[in-house]
Amino acid sequence: MIQGFTSFLRTNSGKDLLYIDSGVLRYLNSTSWDPLESGLTGTKDFSFATVAYNDKLYFCNEDNVLRAWDRGATTFNGSMTASASSVPHGNVLVWHKNHMFTLNNVTYTGTTYANDLYWSDFGDPSSWDTSTQKVNLPGGGRLITACDWGDVLVIGKEHSFMFLTGYGDSDWAINDSTNKLENVDEAVGIISPKGITRVGDEIWFIDDEAQIRRLYKTSFDAFRRDIVSTKIQSTLANINKAYLYKAVAWTYNDKVYFAVPYGSDTYNSLVLVYDLIASKRTGEEAWTTYTGWNIDFADAYPTSTTPDLYLADSRHTQIYKHVGYDDAGIAIDSRWDSKQDDFDNPDEFKRYKKGYIHGEAGASNVDVEIAASVGDATFADLGNLNLAAVGGTLGPTGTFALGPTGTTAVLVGSATGEKLFYYSSGGGKVTGRSITHSIRHDEIGEQPTVYGFTCHYGERT
């Protein structure tokens, strides 16, 4: 089982991907995951933090001392710098305002401190003063996680959120008189260390009751919060809360993701996806869901000029890149069901006749299914929108010279298609007060796009 995954991006443009599994840290060496360090103990997740100013990657958890890697060498069991056991090492590590912070069961010299937060010397993650550079945070449940929020370090506890501000070695000391600690709400907390992510100038997290919330600042720098999951309450009600501590949140490419254990699953088995672009367009929540994914860690990693999303499997030792037409050979079962639509005339019986659906795909030949349910009847299959490539290979096959220079041109094009369907063709009802449409795709080999569709129906005058 993967216990940690991260990208390590350096100021000299160097970069690496690393993961920890079964006590071994590995890095991606071209096409193979080569071991860097073994002997890591325990089964708890590791936390990573990249420090840009010294180009080092740090990682630890409560069972393993703080280690640093500068990428100077990749010698197996000879490349890491391990701190002494007297250096605090917890399950969460955050680099914030030139200090390394650690929390969540912080351990040093054989003792574990559940409610204490520690920070390193200014600009030096290897130097810690455990007598002065710490703060005890009792109340509000267990100390779970922290997240950088510009000038503020957001601290998430089981039943509360707090904001830590300060600067320098000594200025982080928190007490009531300086009022640098503010509770958002004693009733709202977090139980997953990885269930929090920064979204622009906001912080999003899945709370201890499996609601998804955001923290934001007003123009007067007051802290506020609200729920952004009001539209998906049925889905949230089916989250396995006993394993909610495994939830993972990340932000990538104008989407916010929450991988959660769903139903009776004890691992993350459903991803809730908030589409920021769609949401900005409507001014409302815009959720979709991804199934077939079991994600424990996520990180962006540039393989060309733009970052790609990499994901670590929660059930198998496997890293994935979020690209391709299928999930490692498994077709992606996609479905969109409309509202049960009475066309704003709920009392009138309609006779559903026909409709058109439009779509587009790439070079492969794929089908998109349209189905309909009249009233509360079961869905009837109305046929497939077939999307096949337009054109084919231009000229002879194989290698040949085209023009004075350049490469061979091949005409394949993308496939746009239109399907005329009849409601009578599926064997289902064609008369009723309301109708629900369904658009489905479950094939390997393509990534189709569906545009609009129409429904033509008759109504008594």
Partner 1 sequence: MRILSIYYNDYSGGLNDTVHKRGIKRNEASLLRNWDITYKGQLNRRAGLTPVGRVLPFDLITVSENINITKT
Tell which positions 294-313 bind partner 1, by CB under 8 A.
Answer: 310-311
Tokens of 74: 């990749």
- Among 122, 216, 422, 457, interactor with partner 1 by CB under 8 A: 457
What would the x/- binding string for partner 1 be over residues 73 to 102, using CB under 8 A?
Answer: ---x--------------------------
What residues contact 135, with CB distance under 8 A and at least 6 apart?
A: 116, 117, 164, 172, 173, 174
Amino acid at 6: T
Q: Which stretch binds partner 1 (CB under 8 A): 85-93, 112-120, 158-166, 429-437?
A: 429-437
Asked if residue 435 lies in contact with residue 352, where contact means CB atoms within 8 angstroms, the answer is yes
**392: contact with partner 1 by CB under 8 A:** no
Residues 139 to 198 in contact with partner 1, rule: CB under 8 A? none
Residues listed for the chain: 461
Q: Which of residues 237-266 bind partner 1 (CB under 8 A)?
A: 254-255
Q: Is 453 in the site for partner 1 (CB under 8 A)?
A: yes
Specify whether the CB–CB gap between 381 and 372 falls below 8 A.
Answer: no
Q: Site for partner 1 (CB under 8 A): which residue of 12, 282, 397, 399?
A: 282
Stretch that binds partner 1, among 118-126, 157-165, 167-175, 230-238 (CB under 8 A): 230-238
Binding mask 352-381 for partner 1 (x = CB under 8 A): -x----------------------------
Q: Which is nearer to partner 1, 2 or 92 (CB)?
A: 2
CA nearest to 5, candidates 227, 304, 317: 317
80-88, 225-233, 241-249, 387-395 -> range binding partner 1 (CB under 8 A): 225-233
Residues 322-351 that bind partner 1 (CB under 8 A): 322-328, 332-343, 351
How far is 316 from 312, CA to CA, in rounded Å? 9
Q: Would you state the torsion angle of the CA atoms of residues 314, 320, 326, 331, taken in this order, to the nearest 10 degrees?
A: -20
Site string for partner 1, 31-60 (x = CB under 8 A): xxxxx--x----------------------
Single out the segment in contact with partner 1 by CB under 8 A; choices: 46-54, 154-162, 188-196, 269-277: 269-277
Among 69, 252, 293, 423, binds partner 1 (CB under 8 A): 293
> Residue 175 corresponds to which tokens in the numbers above?
């007490």
Residue 200 contacts partner 1 per CB under 8 A: no
Side-chain half-sphere of 217: how many Cα atoms within 13 Å? 13
Per CB under 8 A, does 388 bind partner 1?
A: no
d(CA 459, CA 429): 15
Tell which residue, 192, 184, 150, 188, has the closest CA to residue 167.
Answer: 150
Three-state DSSP state, 22: coil
Terminal C-alpha separation, the chain: 65
- Residue 122 near partner 1 by CB under 8 A: no
When the beta carbons of 116 and 369 are compared against partner 1, the nearer one is 369
Nearest to 235 by CA among 212, 208, 216, 267: 212
Q: Which is nearer to partner 1, 132 or 291 (CB)?
A: 291
- Residue from 211, 235, 364, 424 touching partner 1 (CB under 8 A): that is 235
Q: Using the structure block, give the residue that is written with the tokens 């658009």.
A: 439
Give ∠ CA 93-99-105 in degrees, rounded to 5.
35
Q: Which one of 110, 396, 403, 452 is in contact with partner 1 (CB under 8 A)?
A: 452
Coil vs helix vs strand at 354: strand
Shortest distance in whole angstroms from residue 267 CB to partner 1: 16
